[in-house]
Structure 1
């Protein structure tokens, strides 16, 4: 199974962290975002991942190649022209007669996947309270998808598209993407995958909704911390540090030093970080960061950052220093 993962976005809402670390490589609950993404669909049997990256995104390719045994290819999206355009960049890497999975590079989900031999075309969805923020699907009486709409001003469905798709006919997908690009069909200024899917439906494409159990957002610092909290509740391991107290759930990577501190709940700490005389809750601390003499909550501290003093809530990028004497 080939999987296309668009990861060319700039992650502007997670700055300053995405100035130095691509969004898919930011850590949450002990793993890079893209690891959560890939591992959520491993049961489909991944043969090859095709990453759609920006010119600055080669670190993502290197990371995935080093982490996983399957073949990893990549193509560039030179301009940010929309999700449909990003997927179209991978056209030459997919055979016309094969199926392809598309999953967004920041879509962390929990879902019961169909068996590979039984898979049908699908769009993964979840019911939401405000469909105006998302692409949505409309179903017929038999539960098949008959319409897709990108961020409707007046919603006709509450089934949001979460960013996971299976297309059994790659040729039809790429023909439809090419059509909207050549004819400059844009929604909200971009070439949208939903517009290509609408054309596919008009040409007889049949697909069903795949309902996901959980869908976690990583788009902002507050959303990332909430996702960290939810994932830690499911996957944490209890760890003790002499002279300090840990309130679970938390995640601690290797080589961490913690002295005279109260950690937790909902804290992730990266490898070789050093914490002393600190009270930390609901936060993510990057690898090799140093935090001392402080009380913080709801904070995101980048790798190799240094933080000291009396603060309550901090958003500190990689290699940065913040001290209050």
Structure 2
């Protein structure tokens, strides 16, 4: 099985962290966002993945090569012209494949996608949402087949949001539609949209259905990253997939947490819902509902609902933080 994963976006809503790190490498529930996706693909025996890279693509390339053994292709999207344009760049690798699975690089999901592959029909992952105006949505006919796809409708016509998972049979038909869309400069909201190409396929009689997912976790901005970190830690703990943290004799660890074994924690209370990355040192602190990057030093803190980038130094007081890499803060009382 083969996959296409677009990871070229700049992640502007997650700044300052994306000034120095691509969004898909930001840690959530113990590992980078994209690793949650790739580990699931490895479990399902995917043997080839094409990454559409752009902003800080060299960091993504190095992470993939260091941590995964499947065949990995890398294509650069030099201009951000939309998701449809990004997927079109994978044509040389997947045009003649029998099928392909497209998953957005920041879409952490929980779903039985193996069953979807076995049904032998193209299908899009969907989830019911309260405000469909923020998403691309699908409209179904009486046989549960897709009859229309609409990108971020101003007037709600369906509450089934497209969540970034696309199983495509005969991908050459998709690539042909993408080429046609780009040649004719068919854009929605100034971009070449994947949903427009899929709609062209449906209009030509191509059968497509949906599969509902069990969980869909957004990692677009600080608040949703913290929510995703919390929900994934709860889920992984419930499924017994979180390694138990090592013992810290003078500290209290309140699960669920994901603490890298190289982290050093003394005289502190950590958790619940905390990710601590490798080589980070925490002393005399209380931290909950937060994500802490690599090689940090935190001292004398009461910290919650915070994102702390790599190589940060923070000490002294209770705060909610959102600081990027290589920051240094010291809170002192006058």
Aligned to 2:215: 214
Bigger Cα displacement from structure 2, 1-10 vs 52-61: 52-61
Deviation at 1:96, TM superposition (A): 2.5
Q: Which runs of 5+ in 1 are unaligned?
A: none
1:205-230 CA-partner distances (Å, limit 9, x unpaired): 11110110000000001100100000
C-alpha distance in 1 between matches for 2:108 and 2:40: 7
Q: Distance in 1 between matches of 2:65 and 2:98?
A: 23
In the superposition, the TM-score normalised over structure 1's length comes to 0.97
> Aligned with 2:272: secondary structure?
coil
Distance 1:46 1:225 in 2: 29
Cα gap change, 1:96 to 1:59, in 2 (>3 Å): same
Shift of 1:9: 0.2
Hey, what does 1:111 align to over in structure 2? 111
The CA deviation at 1:118 is 4.0
Alignment partner, residue 35 of structure 1: 35
Q: TM-score, normalised by structure 2?
A: 0.94
Q: CA–CA distance in 1 between the matches of 2:208 and 2:220?
A: 28
Residues 127 and 161 in structure 2, CA contact (< 8 A), matched pair in contact too: yes
The equivalent residue for 1:306 is 313
Question: How far does residue 117 in structure 1 lie from its aligned partner after superposition?
Answer: 4.7
Alignment of 1:168-317 (within 5 A): 168-235=169-236, 236-239=242-245, 240-317=247-324
SS in 2 for 1:114: helix
Which residue is 1:91 aligned to?
91
Distance 2:121 2:289 in 1: 40
Secondary structure in 2 aligned to 1:226? helix
How big is the alpha-carbon RMSD for the aligned residues of Structure 1 and Structure 2? 1.3
Structure 1, 55-64 or 287-296: larger mean CA deviation: 55-64
Supply the distance in 2 between the matched residues of 1:55 and 1:129 (Cα, whole angstroms).
32
Separation (CA, whole Å) in 2 of partners of 1:17 and 1:95: 36
2:3 counterpart SS class: strand
* Aligned mates of 1:55, 1:113 — CA distance in 2: 29
1: distance between equivalents of 2:125 and 2:144? 13
Task: Write the distance in 2 (CA, Å) between the matches of 1:114 and 1:246.
Answer: 36
